[in-house]
Structure 1
Amino acid sequence: MKEPNVEATREHPFRLQSGLPKWGYAWLLLGMWWLLVGLAAAPVGDKVWNPGKPYHDSLLVLFIAPALFWVWKRRGAFRERVVGSADAWLLMLFLAWSALSSAWANYGHFGDNLFVAVYVLLFVVTWAAVVAGNSQWFQQLLFWGGVGLALSALGAVAMFPWRTLHTMMWQEQGRVVAFGALDNPNLAGFAYGAAIVWLAQTTVRGRWQHVIQVLALVMLSIFVVMTYSRATWLAILAAQACMLITARHGHVKLRALAILGLAALAIGLGGWHYVEQRGMSYRPQIFERAWELIRAHPWHGLGMGSHYEIRVDDQIWTHSHNAFTHNAIMLGIPAAVLWVVMWLIVGWRGWLFRHVATGRCLLALWVFATVAFQFDAPELMQKPSVEWLMGWLPLAISMGLAWRVRDSQQHHQNEVDA
Structure 2
Amino acid sequence: MLYQKSWARAWLGIGLVWFLGAIALAPSNKVYQQGLVLFLWLPTLVLAWSARAVLVEAWRRQAALWGSVLLLMAWCAVSLFWSSAEEPVREAKRLVYIVVFLLAFPLLAQAGTTRIRHLLQLGSGLLAIAALISIVHFYGLQDHPLIGRLYGIGEISHPILGAYVVGCAALLLLYQLPHQRIYQLGWILALACLGAFIMLSQSRGAVLALLLTVLIAPLWLRTRYSSTLAALALVATGLTFYVAYDLISARGSSYRPEIFAAALQMIGEHPWTGLGLGASYKVFAAATEFDHTHNMFTHVAVELGWPGMLLWTAVWLFTLAEIVRARHLLLGKLLLGLWIFSTLAMQFDAASLTATPRAEWFISWLVVGLVMLLPWGRAENDACGKISGST
Is 2:26 the partner of 1:42? yes
Is 2:250 the partner of 1:295? no
Q: 1:235 aligns with which of 209, 234, 237?
A: 209
Q: 1:333 to 1:308 in 2, by over 3 A?
A: same
Which whole-Å CA distance do the structure 1 matches of 2:71 and 2:331 have between them? 27
CA contact (8 A) 1:175 1:226 kept: yes
Which whole-Å CA distance do the structure 1 matches of 2:380 and 2:270 have between them? 43
Which whole-Å CA distance do the structure 2 matches of 1:411 and 1:211 have between them? 31
Partner of 2:118: 140
TM-aligned CA deviation for residue 412 of structure 1: 10
Q: Output the amino acid matched with 1:369.
A: S
Which whole-Å CA distance do the structure 2 matches of 1:253 and 1:144 have between them? 26
Mark the runs of 5 or more structure 1 residues left unpaired by the alignment. Answer: 1-16, 45-51, 414-418
Counting aligned pairs with the same residue, the percent is 30
CA contact (8 A) 1:240 1:257 kept: no
What secondary structure does 2:289 align onto? strand
Partner of 1:244: 218
Q: 1:295 to 1:132 in 2, by over 3 A?
A: farther
Q: Output the amino acid matched with 1:209.
A: Y
Which range is displaced more, 335-344 or 398-407?
Answer: 398-407
Partner of 2:34: 57
Partner of 2:389: none
Which range is displaced more, 154-163 or 282-291?
Answer: 154-163
Q: Output the amino acid matched with 1:40.
A: A
Partner of 2:132: 154
CA contact (8 A) 2:24 2:130 kept: yes
Partner of 2:56: 79
Is 2:359 the partner of 1:375? no
Give the 4+ runs in structure 1 shifted more than 6 A.
170-173, 406-413
CA contact (8 A) 1:247 1:354 kept: no
Is 2:108 the partner of 1:130? yes
TM-aligned CA deviation for residue 155 of structure 1: 0.6
Q: Output the amino acid matched with 1:81.
A: A
Which whole-Å CA distance do the structure 2 matches of 1:117 and 1:411 have between them? 38
Partner of 1:106: 84
Q: 1:171 to 1:67 in 2, by over 3 A?
A: farther
Structure 1 length as normaliser, TM-score?
Answer: 0.85
TM-aligned CA deviation for residue 43 of structure 1: 3.0
What secondary structure does 2:373 align onto? helix
**Aligned-residue CA RMSD in angstroms?**
2.6
CA contact (8 A) 2:177 2:187 kept: no
What secondary structure does 1:311 align onto? strand
What secondary structure does 2:80 align onto? helix
Is 2:16 the partner of 1:32? yes
Partner of 1:342: 315
TM-aligned CA deviation for residue 280 of structure 1: 0.7
Which range is displaced more, 126-135 or 110-119?
Answer: 126-135
